Amino acid sequence: MYRAPLSDIRFVLEDLLDTSALSGMPGLEDYSSELATAVLEEAARFAEDVLDPLNQTGDREGARWTPDGVVMPAGFKDAYEKFVEGGWPQLGADPEYGGQPVPIVLGTAVQELWASANLSFKLCPMLTAAAVEALELRGTPEQKRLFLPKMVSGEWTGTMNLTEPQAGSDLALVRMRAVPDGSHYRLFGQKIFITYGDHDYTENIIHMVLARIDGAPPGVRGISLFLVPKVLVNDDGSLGARNDVRCTSIEHKLGIHASPTCVMTYGEREGAIGYLIGEPNRGLEYMFIMMNAARLSVGVEGYALAERAFQRAAEWARNRLQGRPPGAKSEGPVPIVQHPDVRRMLLTMKSGAEAMRALALYAAYQFDLARHHPDERTRAAAQARGELLIPIVKGFCTENGVRLASLGIQVHGGMGYVEETGAAQHLRDVRITTIYEGTTGIQSNDLVGRKIGRDRGAAMGALIEEMRRELESLPVGDGEGRAVVNASLEAVERLEAATRAQLAALGECPERAYAVAVPYLELCGTAICGWLMAKAYARAAEGIAGGDAQQEFHRAKLRTAQFFAQHTLPNALALARVVEQGASSVIDTDAALI
């Protein structure tokens, strides 16, 4: 049974990030810590009472394709209706179209709850929110008037249509055609892997589709973005005729069985009517508006599933009686949580989830500062840092989400490998997150080529300097806390050296930099998480010293921060060595020898 980790989330929001500073900033005049608490508590109830009970049943039943459309598993449509009634799709959207303005960091924290409780369900509103953001920024006034209010309310949902059978992640190969026809276009072609491309939640689905206008330049320079509704919309906002687009099949997947992954066919007859978003041939630029929001959200999914896997594993370990650890005084079998290696695995999961939560919410907070802070220089610096962190959050949190979900099966032993315990579902579900919105290799290439290479390491250098300065000033004394800080400082130093090595490689032989881009991304995530966990240690120690009411909670924070420093941060040294010395074995190996 899932329990929303509200104390852990509030600890990050209030103690680590101090998001109360957002209150009163332009656009967030009504925001307060009390509002954040109320939103989180209501979201927790919905996650625990409505979404979690459908998680395993939805996995077993799955979404079902029929000639008349996709049918969702039992209970999912009712849950979506409750989701809409609760106003959840409106959270964070523009109030001009019915949204409720809240910080991105709060909306990100809420997404964790949806993802932990039921990832298959969570994917639909995530994609709708991404489509809404693109339409808000690049749609015409008429497009916004017709589509945004009902998308923001949740009455209609949205999708992203990028991939085609021959294209995969290489969008330069997109072939979907768009033929001008008066004030609109007619689209012809096929898209694959379209999450929630069809379902029975709503009467209409608004597809954001990449296509080429006839005569457009080749490659990514000739891609445009189109809005293609499942059902055409009349000028008064009412629904009209069915558009020439349909789901022709759904995929049979490793996990997220209750999330329909659709093959979408456009223009089987006269062509699917679509409306150009923004300017022609700038579709990839506009699609990245959606992809950046989705990449942060997918990173959240990685640690959210790690959190859920930890909860299940910890519950199992407290109740499973088996064996006696060395030195045990009691006779007979004991709960396996008393075995040292089981405790090690659980602490790995718990500290990892806490560290990734801090990383993702810290990144989300940067975008709030970039959007709302009154000082222009602060906004610019926060935007640069947020953009730097996006590929790290997406790649690091999903890769480690897979590792920790796998560890959850190990805690269960043989019972984790059978479906009845539910541990296997977490691993099956989280596995897609390392692929969604660009694989880890794509995220790493973005980090090295666009983020580090673009400004010659300026944004990363500023972050490294801030981490070092804060770590050196943390009030942790000379004992255990100092060891935590020193381990974090060592990781930051290794990150700094590895960044210099990457910059040198980019200037001399870029292939060398890309050959070790994934280890570099892992190093970034490890070092930044180490910094945040050291800060968590200091905040928890302050709470204990001040005699607050959360003594046990803060003692647990000391333990996870110490564990992270001793068991996870040493990986930074190995990763740094790979970054600095490991490129040759990759680029000097002929592909024929693999």
Nearest to 482 by CA among 497, 493, 472: 472
Closest CA to 286 of 103, 73, 143: 143
Intra-chain end-to-end CA distance of the chain, in Å? 45
Q: What angle, rounded to 10 degrees, do the helices at 52-61 and 423-430 form?
A: 80
Residue 513: CB atoms within 10 A of its CB come to 25
Round to whole Å and give the CA distance between 421 and 402. Answer: 18
Quote the CA–CA distance of 14 and 545 in Å, as a whole number: 18
Gap between the Cα atoms of 292 and 59, Å rounded: 28
CA distances to 39, 188, 226, 232, 275 from 191, rounded to whole Å, are 37, 10, 13, 19, 17
Alpha carbon distance 175, 267 (integer Å): 13
Secondary structure class of 92 (helix, strand, coil):
coil
Beta strands 205-213; 239-242: pairing state: unpaired
Question: What is the chain's Cα-based Rg?
Answer: 24
Nearest to 358 by CA among 389, 388, 331, 333: 389
User: Tokens for 483?
Assistant: 């060891």
Report the amino acid identity of residue 205: I
The 10 Å CB-count burial string (b at 16+, else e) for 173-190 is ebebbbeeeeebbbbbbb
Catalytic one of 354, 437, 496, 580: 437
Separation of alpha carbons 297 and 310, rounded Å:
20
Q: Which two tokens stand for residue 474?
A: 């943390």
Report the alpha-carbon distance of residue 442 to residue 457 in Å, rounded: 19
Annotated catalytic residue 437: yes
- CA–CA separation, 503 and 264 (whole Å): 42
Instruction: Give the bridge partners for 158, in sequence order.
Output: 206
Q: Hunting for tokens 């694989």 — which residue is that?
A: 439
**What backbone torsions phi and psi does residue 196 show, to the nearest 5 degrees?**
55, 35
Is the separation of the CB atoms in 195 and 161 below 8 Å? no
Question: What whole-number distance in Å separates Cα of residue 186 and Cα of residue 365?
Answer: 41
In this structure, the strands spanning 224-229 and 239-242 are unpaired
Backbone angles phi, psi at 66, to 5 degrees: -135, 160
Of 469, 475, 488, residue with least CA distance to 541: 475
Cβ atoms 396, 522 nearer than 8 A: yes
Cβ(233)–Cβ(146) below 8 Å = yes
> How many whole angstroms separate alpha carbon 170 and alpha carbon 290?
17
Pairing of strands 157-161, 205-213: parallel
Spatial separation of the C-alpha atoms in residues 330 and 436, rounded to whole Å: 49
**CA of 369: how far to CAs of 20, 468, 469, 590, in Å?**
12, 21, 21, 47
Annotated catalytic residues are 437
